[in-house]
Structure 1
Amino acid sequence: MTVEIAEPNVVTETVLSTCRLPARRPAEVLGRIGSLETRLAVTNSEIDAAQAVRYRVFVEEMNAQIAPDAMRRRRDIDAWDMVCDHLLVLDTAIEGDSEEQIVGTYRLLRQDVAKGSGGFYSQSEFDVDALIARHADKQFMELGRSCVLPQYRTKRTVELLWQGAWAYALKHGISAMFGCGSFSGVVPEEHALALSFLHQNALVRGEWTVSAHEDQYRTMDLMPSEAVNARKALFAMPPLIKGYLRLGAMIGDGAVVDHAFRTTDVLIVLPIGSISGRYINYYGADAGRFAS
């Protein structure tokens, strides 16, 4: 996830021209369900196609505001793309090149890469530096830019995204994962039920405490606990955040409004040791559940 990082979403010809992968190497499939498979991008063309998927979801569907050059190119691009690994979900039933088969993507940034490259994307909104400093013996990984084309927003696709992230985390000895989870819109009060539920039931505590930066902090505790119906709150929650909760994730203190992407962000914190045994068993302690 980073070299000398420019401001998020600032795109320059230098950034675009230096985002280069080595020559094609064999693609290691991390998981497969039916015609869908997940693996890392292995060519620049695949990264470009993943950026096109992100553009369709974030800009065309969610009305995100990105840099003019990125708008012209119809790609969601920023400087982190140069250093991240790009996890893909492909539909192999689609005829054509792999670029045409990409239906979902995730961006992965390991701590060792971020440390030498300018930091994590989400540290512009949340004080993740303090969290990481508190765990000097652990290796963190940031998950970001998760998106799936509308017709593929199914349980199978979500399972494959997690399968890929889990296999990647095991391979690189990751101790904890974190990243922004987003609610649509820039008015946190419109999500009062879900945000209040998260604050009251899943808030980070103790050594995992992390907060939104003070100048961006928006309270999540918007309703009294007696008014929060858990079932309705979960129903109102974005599927990705709900999925993280099932895995055992915690939520940082405070939300942040991202005006460029027209979202209200919360920070997901998922220590590997907190992942529910049910899901470890489901995907396999060696990530072998859906491995090919």
Structure 2
Amino acid sequence: MATELLKREVTVSSNQAPAPVPASGDTFGRIGQLETRLARNAREIEAAQAVRYRVFVEEMNAQLSPEAMSSKRDMDSYDAFCDHLLVIDHSIPGEIEDQIVGTYRLLRQDVARANGGFYSASEYDIEPLLARHPDKQFMELGRSCVLPDYRTKRTVELLWQGNWAYSLKHGMSAMFGCASFSGVKPEEHAVALSFLHHTVSAKGEWAVSARPELYNNMDLMPLETINTRQALSALPPLIKGYLRLGAMVGDGAVVDRAFNTTDVLIVLPIASISNRYINYYGADAGRFAG
């Protein structure tokens, strides 16, 4: 979920340390030697930024700010007030910072309002969506990444366990955030984008659209010409995972040249999450609890 094109460029200097998170109640699950919890201090957040750099820059060829490139950390001003969900492999020798293998960045609506808004608002016009749900609390999921050797079912389960437990802990009503296709040519993803447009578009009270100046049409092929199996195989694993949970997709794709991606907006009301996933992870998010 990496996005940085044609929007306010925000960076955090290396001496602007993110606020630490209290240690109590921040561990959400374990599977074997893998654990998911929130980052507890600036060093752990910086280590998560280094993991993001390895994935977004070294693997996906993102072009970040000069400061981020020189420090080899993907960082911006949002890092200072977001919570950072980590997956930690305790079997790796060394300090805790060496054991972080995956991360998500979490931003609650009340925190976003107090700090200038949601990150996704630079690509999508989310204010009408929020205004239609004044009684609901939204949380934004972003900067999702996992190191190559850990792109396994266990890691994905722990990341979702963390997101689910966090949303329950804070009384969230819906999740949203940008998810990415590789590359900056939407037409290269015509089958997948068209499939999303025709089958899982967010409509009615959940409708949301890309900002007009960034909007790229997702309706690139008629529904009757789309091979469903081919479309599903063309979806990035993260997007497929969201769809299994019951997510919808906003209208319009956004090209992010800095991160070398084509983004779509995922919208997931908590009430829409498939019962089989709630049963699997536990209505109290207790399946993988320590």
Number of the residue aligned with 1:128: 126
Q: How does 1:100-139 map to 2 (within 5 A)?
A: 100-139=98-137
CA distance, structure 1, for counterparts of residue 72 and residue 196 of structure 2: 35
Deviations along 1:246-271, one digit per CA (max 9) or x if unpaired, are: 00000000100011111000000000
The answer (yes or no) to whether the contact 2:21–2:38 under 8 Å persists in 1 is no
Secondary structure of the structure 2 residue equivalent to 1:160: helix
The answer (yes or no) to whether the contact 1:8–1:79 under 8 Å persists in 2 is no
Q: How does 1:213-228 map to 2 (within 5 A)?
A: 213-228=211-226
The answer (yes or no) to whether the contact 1:125–1:213 under 8 Å persists in 2 is yes
Number of the residue aligned with 2:11: 11
Number of the residue aligned with 2:54: 56
CA distance, structure 2, for counterparts of residue 163 and residue 153 of structure 1: 15
CA distance, structure 2, for counterparts of residue 62 and residue 204 of structure 1: 28
Letter in structure 2 aligned against 1:127: D
The answer (yes or no) to whether the contact 2:102–2:146 under 8 Å persists in 1 is yes
CA distance, structure 2, for counterparts of residue 50 and residue 90 of structure 1: 10
- Normalised to the residue count of structure 1, the TM-score between the two structures is 0.95
Secondary structure of the structure 2 residue equivalent to 1:17: coil
Deviation of 1:26 (Å): 4.8
Secondary structure of the structure 1 residue equivalent to 2:45: helix
Letter in structure 1 aligned against 2:54: R
Secondary structure of the structure 1 residue equivalent to 2:196: helix
CA distance, structure 2, for counterparts of residue 133 and residue 277 of structure 1: 27
Number of the residue aligned with 1:170: 168
Deviations along 1:108-127, one digit per CA (max 9) or x if unpaired, are: 00000000100000000001
CA distance, structure 2, for counterparts of residue 24 and residue 251 of structure 1: 34
Task: Pick one of 218, 235, 241 that aligns with 1:243.
Answer: 241
The answer (yes or no) to whether the contact 1:90–1:102 under 8 Å persists in 2 is yes
CA distance, structure 2, for counterparts of residue 28 and residue 22 of structure 1: 12
Number of the residue aligned with 1:197: 195
Number of the residue aligned with 1:145: 143
Give aligned-pair identity as a percent. Answer: 69
The answer (yes or no) to whether the contact 1:9–1:79 under 8 Å persists in 2 is no
The answer (yes or no) to whether the contact 2:85–2:106 under 8 Å persists in 1 is yes
Deviation of 1:230 (Å): 1.0
Task: Pick one of 13, 34, 42 that aligns with 1:36.
Answer: 34
Number of the residue aligned with 2:283: 285
CA distance, structure 2, for counterparts of residue 192 and residue 172 of structure 1: 38
Alpha-carbon distance change, 8 to 77 in structure 1, aligned in 2, over 3 angstroms: farther
Q: How does 1:92-107 map to 2 (within 5 A)?
A: 92-107=90-105
Alpha-carbon distance change, 215 to 24 in structure 1, aligned in 2, over 3 angstroms: closer
CA distance, structure 2, for counterparts of residue 42 and residue 240 of structure 1: 26
- Show structure 1 runs of 4+ deviating over 3 A: 7-10, 22-28
Structure 1: stretches of 5+ with no match in the other structure: 1-6
Q: CA RMSD of the aligned region, Å?
A: 1.3
Number of the residue aligned with 2:4: none
CA distance, structure 1, for counterparts of residue 262 and residue 149 of structure 2: 24
Number of the residue aligned with 1:261: 259
Deviation of 1:25 (Å): 3.4
Deviation of 1:97 (Å): 1.3
CA distance, structure 2, for counterparts of residue 125 and residue 261 of structure 1: 13
Deviation of 1:10 (Å): 3.2
Alpha-carbon distance change, 252 to 215 in structure 1, aligned in 2, over 3 angstroms: same
- Normalised to the residue count of structure 2, the TM-score between the two structures is 0.95
The answer (yes or no) to whether the contact 1:41–1:87 under 8 Å persists in 2 is yes
Deviation of 1:129 (Å): 1.0
CA distance, structure 1, for counterparts of residue 228 and residue 210 of structure 2: 24
Deviation of 1:20 (Å): 3.3
Task: Pick one of 17, 20, 23 that aligns with 2:18.
Answer: 20
